[in-house]
Amino acid sequence: MIQKLTISVVLAAILFGCGNFNQSDLNAGNSNVDTTTVSQTFYPDTMKFDPAIAITVADLKSKIGTQDSMMVTVAASITETCTKMGCWMDIKDESGKDIKVRMKDHNFFVPKDGCEGKKCVIQGYAYRTTFSEEERLHYAMESDMPQDEIDKIKGPEDVLTITAHSVMIEDAPQTQSEEQSHDHDHDHEGHEHHDHEAEAK
The answer to whether the peptide bond before residue 44 is cis (omega within 30 degrees of 0) is: yes
Nearest to 141 by CA among 80, 75, 195, 198: 80
Please, what is the average pLDDT of the chain? 79
Q: Is the pLDDT of residue 83 over 60?
A: yes
Write down the domain spans for the chain: 40-200
State what percent of residues in the chain have pLDDT above 70: 69
Residue pLDDT, tens place only, 20-74: 434 344 334 333 434 457 899 999 999 999 999 999 999 999 999 888 899 999 9
Please tell me the CATH code under which domain 40-200 is placed.
2.40.50.200
Residue pLDDT, tens place only, 95-112: 888 999 999 999 999 999
Nearest to 162 by CA among 76, 94, 85: 76
pLDDT score recorded for residue 28: 40
Task: Report how far apart, in Å, the C-alpha atoms of 84 and of each of 24, 127, 141, 157, 186 are.
Answer: 48, 24, 9, 23, 8
d(CA 127, CA 121): 17
